């Protein structure tokens, strides 16, 4: 892949990470056009966080895995997947949707990840999975490399949008993992609170002891 390229941009209020699936409902005319062009050219588009009237500079490309449903008016449901981090260099407004010249960013690994750090990260991910009611034995943690592990934790760990953006912007996998573990106590409290709210909802609003 070249060092820079022009890609269409899809600003959203979310942060996408490499390898992470993302279902999208496409309904605006400009994005119908964009997605159809990506389908025709088998090309990627860029997801960038747009929040508080700010378009963030670091985003993640997405490839379209499948079109789940097409509607008569041209709307569609698609499943995309994160591919690669990028930094915006220049933005073009020549088309109905934004395009940008981007530089692709690779995660930096100065050496093997500290085994204790990876073990702590795996244990954190197990707690995240357990908090959702899923069984950890359904996942092969040994097959996850450190980069993939850091992105899965970032995507599903209950981080705020601003925290996710910060994690996406880390250049080194090890630093991303360390930041995730630094926030792990706060994350687990959030996940526990969400679970309690869900339990209250299931009990018709009665508070649980």
Q: What is the pLDDT of residues 22-62, one digit of tens each?
A: 999 999 999 999 999 999 999 999 999 999 999 999 999 99
- Amino acid 136: pLDDT: 77
Q: Which residue has the higher pLDDT, 157 or 169?
A: 169
Lowest mean pLDDT among 92-96, 144-148, 187-191: 187-191
Residue 114 pLDDT > 90: no
Task: Provide the domain count of the chain.
Answer: 2
pTM as predicted: 0.87
Lowest mean pLDDT among 43-47, 182-186, 188-192: 188-192
Among 105, 131, 148, where does a domain finish? Answer: 105
Query: Are 18 and 99 found together in one domain?
Result: yes
Query: Are 90 and 178 found together in one domain?
Result: no
pLDDT digits (tens, 9 = 90+) for 123-139: 999 999 888 777 777 67
Among 105, 130, 165, where does a domain finish? Answer: 105
- Give the start-end residues of each E strand in the chain: 4-12, 21-26, 45-51, 54-55, 58-70, 76-92, 99-105
How far, in whole angstroms, is CA 192 from its chain's centroid? 22
- Amino acid 158: pLDDT: 87
- Amino acid 110: pLDDT: 64
* 99 lies in some domain: yes
Query: Are 154 and 179 found together in one domain?
Result: yes
Query: Are 130 and 159 found together in one domain?
Result: yes
Query: Are 100 and 124 found together in one domain?
Result: no
- Amino acid 3: pLDDT: 41
Query: Are 89 and 142 found together in one domain?
Result: no
Tell me the DSSP string of 115-142.
Answer: HHHHHHHHHHHHHHHHHTT--GGGS-GG
* 207 lies in some domain: no
Query: Are 37 and 78 found together in one domain?
Result: yes
Query: Are 163 and 76 found together in one domain?
Result: no
- Amino acid 195: pLDDT: 63
- Amino acid 15: pLDDT: 98
* 208 lies in some domain: no
Domain that holds residue 190: 115-202
- Amino acid 207: pLDDT: 46
Query: Are 130 and 80 found together in one domain?
Result: no
- Amino acid 135: pLDDT: 76
Among 72, 105, 138, where does a domain finish? Answer: 105
- Amino acid 2: pLDDT: 40
The CATH number assigned to the domain holding 19 equals 2.30.130.40
Backbone angles phi, psi at 167, to 5 degrees: -65, -40
Query: Are 86 and 133 found together in one domain?
Result: no
Query: Are 99 and 136 found together in one domain?
Result: no
């Amino acid at each position: 892949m070249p060092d820079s390229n022009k890609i269409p941009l899809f600003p959203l209020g979310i942060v996408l990470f490499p390898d992470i699936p993302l279902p999208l409902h496409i309904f605006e005319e400009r994005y119908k056009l964009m997605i159809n062009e990506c389908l025709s050219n088998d090309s990627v588009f860029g997801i960038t966080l747009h929040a508080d009237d700010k378009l963030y500079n670091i985003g993640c490309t997405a490839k379209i895995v499948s079109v789940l449903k097409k509607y008569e008016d041209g709307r569609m449901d698609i499943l995309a997947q994160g591919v690669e981090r990028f930094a915006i260099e220049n933005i073009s407004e020549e088309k109905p949707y934004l395009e940008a010249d981007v530089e692709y960013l690779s995660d930096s690994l100065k050496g093997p990840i500290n085994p204790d750090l990876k073990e702590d990260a795996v244990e954190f991910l197990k707690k995240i999975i357990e908090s959702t009611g899923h069984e950890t034995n359904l996942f092969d943690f040994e097959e996850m490399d450190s980069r993939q592990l850091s992105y899965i934790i970032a995507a599903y760990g209950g981080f705020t949008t601003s925290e996710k953006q910060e994690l996406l912007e880390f250049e080194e996998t090890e630093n991303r993992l360390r930041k995730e573990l630094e926030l792990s106590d706060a994350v687990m409290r959030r996940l526990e609170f969400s679970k309690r709210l869900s339990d209250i909802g299931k009990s018709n609003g009665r508070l649980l002891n």
